[in-house]
Amino acid sequence: MIVAATWDGPHLGPASREVLGAAVRLGAAVGQQVAVASLGPEGSGAAEESGGYGVAQAFVVEGDCAASGSEGSIAVLAELARELGASAVLLSADDRSAEIAPRLAERLGGSAVMHATAIEVHDGRPVWTRPVYGGKALATISAASEPVVATLRRGAFRAAEVTGGAAAVSTRTAPPTDGAVEFVGSEAPVAGASLEDARVIVSGGSGVGNVEGFAELEELARLLGGAVGASLAAVDAGWAQPDRQVGLTGKVVSPDVYFAIGISGASQHLAGIAGAKAVIAVNTDPEAPIFGRARLGVLMDCRQFLPALIEALRRRASPR
C-alpha cells in the first residue's frame, strides 16, 4: 500500500494533489493501492476529494494533531502505516514534513528519502532521485528497508488526474502523546500571497542593494499580480523577512513566471526554483549562473532597469 499524507482541509491543495499524483502513478507501477491520511483541520473534505483521484481508502484523523508539534502526526501515521502494511509513505516536502519523515521512517524501521524530485521503478522497486550538494548534483538512491517515507519536492511531480470514483472514508483518533512538545502559537507570514502557490513571483537578491530596492520589487509584484520572494543573501542582509526566502532551505516554488532580480543563481537558489516554468533574469553579470536557467534575460543593473520596467507596466495598464 502506498500511503499519501495531507494536512489540507476541507479541500486538497496543489501540493497534496502533486503527492497524490506521484502516489497513484507509483501505485500503478508497483501494483499497490493508494490510501490517503488526512490530518488537517476539517480533513474529511480533503479525504473525500481524494477519492476522485483514484484513491481507494481515506482516513480522517480527528483531534488536533498539531497541538503536539509533529509528535501526534508521527504517531498516527506510524499506526496507519503499520496497519496497512505500507511500502511507502509520501508527503509533500515542507517545513512540517522535514521533522516528520525521518522520525516516521525510523519508527517504522524503514528509510527516509528527503526532497525527492523523481521516482522510477526498476524491477518492481522504486528508485528515488534527489538533489545533493546544494542542488549542484543529483543522486539516485534505493531503500534497503521498507517502508520508505519520502518527501516530494513541490513542482517536481504532476498533479493527480481526476478519474472519478470514491474512497472508503473512515476516521481515526490521533493517539495521545507524552506532552513533551506543546504548540504555543503561530504568527502568520507578514506579506500576502503564499510563495509556494503563487503563479508569478518577483524575487530579489544581493543585486537589489538595499531595503528601498525591495520596496520597488513589491510595486513590481503588485503590478504583475504576484508575490515577492528573496534570495538567502537578501534575507541575510535584512532586506526581506526569512519567510520570503526562496531556495533549497527556504521555499521551493513553481510559478509560471519567476523574475530573478539581481540574483546570481547560486545552486541552492536554483534548487528552489526548479519548478518554475519561465525564469526572467535581470543581472549585470553575463556569466551569472541564473542565465543558464533563465528563458529571458536583461543584462543591466536592476536598480536602473526596475524603474523602467515599472513605468512600462504602468503605461501598459493605463495607456493614454
Partner 1 sequence: MLGSDGAGLAKSARRTAMHAIVLLKQILDWELPPSRFRIDPETHRPPDNLGPTLLGPFEQNALEFALQLRDAGIVDTLTALLAGPADSADALRKALALRCDEAVHVEVGADESTDPSQTAELLLAAIRRLEPAELVLAGRQAGDWDHGQVGYLIAERLKWPAVGLVWRAERSDGRLRVWRSGSAGVEQLAVRPPAVLTVTSHPSLRLRMGSVMDRMAANKRPITRWTLDDLELSSEQLAAARRVELTRVWVAEVERNCELIEGEDPAEIATALLGRLEELKLLTRPG
Partner 2 sequence: MTAVLGEVATRQIQWHVSPLMVALLYASMSAALVVFAYGFWRRIRVWRLGRPEVVWDHPWARLRRMLIDAGAQASVLRDRLPGAMHALIYFGFLVLFAATVVVFIDFDLGIPIMRGAFYLYFQSLTVDLFGLLLLIGIAIAAYRRYVLRPSRLEHGNRADALMLGWLALILVTGFLLEGMRIQVTHDRWASWSPVGYVTGLASHGVVGSNATLKDVYPWLWVFHVFLWHGLLATIPFTKLIHMVTSPLNVYCANPGPARGVVAPTDFEDANVKLGIRTPFDMSWRQLLALDACTECGRCEAACPAFAAGKPLSPKSVILDLRDHVRGAFPQLREAGRALGAGDETRAQAIFQSMPPLAGGVIKPDTLWSCTTCRACEETCPVRIEHVPLIIGLRQNLAMEQAAVPAGVAETMANLEAREHPFRGASASRTDWLAGLEVDQVSSLEEVRAVELVYWVGCAAAFDERVQLVARALVTVLQHARVKFAVFSQERCNGDVARRTGNEFDYSMLARANVEALNGAGVERVVTHCPHCLQQLRHEYEQFGGRYTVMHHSELVSSLIEQGRIRLAPGVRERVTYHDPCYLGRYNREFDAPRQVLDALAVERVEMARSRTESFCCGAGGGHAFFDDADGGEKINAIRAREAAATGATTVVTGCPFCLTMLASGARAAVSEDRPLRARDFVELVADALVD
Minimal distance in Å, beta carbon 243 to partner 1?
Answer: 6
Give the chain's radius of gyration (CA, Å).
21
Q: Which of 21-29, 53-61, 163-171, 248-256 is the region at the interface with partner 1 (rule: CB under 8 A)? A: 248-256
Interatomic CA distance for residues 233 and 252, integer angstroms:
16
Q: Cβ distance 214 to 230 under 8 Å?
A: yes
Minimal distance in Å, beta carbon 292 to partner 2?
Answer: 12
Can you tell me which of 16, 70, 111, 264 binds partner 2, judged by CB under 8 A? 264
Please report which helix (H) or strand (E) contains residue 58, including its range: strand 57-62
Which residue, 228 or 233, has its beta carbon nearer to partner 2?
233
β-bridge mates for residue 37, sequence order: 5, 59
Which residue type, as a one-letter code, is found at position 142? S
Which residue, 171 or 249, has its beta carbon nearer to partner 1?
249
Site string for partner 1, 46-85 (x = CB under 8 A): -----------------------xxx--------------
Pick from 245, 244, 231, 235: which is nearest to 289 by CA? 231
Q: Cβ distance 193 to 227 under 8 Å?
A: yes
Can you tell me which of 111, 203, 231, 254 binds partner 1, judged by CB under 8 A? 111
Which residue, 38 or 57, has its beta carbon nearer to partner 1?
38
β-bridge mates for residue 170, sequence order: 59
Q: How many residues bind partner 1 (CB under 8 A)?
A: 89
Of residues 205-224, which lie at the interface with partner 1 (CB under 8 A)? 224
Of residues 6-25, which lie at the interface with partner 1 (CB under 8 A)? 7
Of residues 201-260, which lie at the interface with partner 2 (CB under 8 A)? 206, 209-211, 233, 237-238
Which residue, 88 or 167, has its beta carbon nearer to partner 1?
88
Which residue, 62 or 120, has its beta carbon nearer to partner 1?
120
Residues in the chain: 320
Cα–Cα distances (Å) from 128 to 31, 46, 118, 144, in that order, read 17, 27, 6, 12
Can you tell me which of 88, 94, 154, 221 binds partner 1, judged by CB under 8 A? 94
State CA 147 to chain mean position distance. Answer: 22
For Cα atoms 180, 91, 136, give the angle at the middle one, nearest 5 degrees: 105
Nine cell digits for residue 124 = 518492481
Q: Cβ distance 2 to 34 under 8 Å?
A: yes
**Residue 287 binds to partner 2 (criterion: CB under 8 A):** yes
Q: Which residues bind partner 2 (CB under 8 A)?
A: 206, 209-211, 233, 237-238, 264, 266, 284-285, 287-289, 301, 303-304
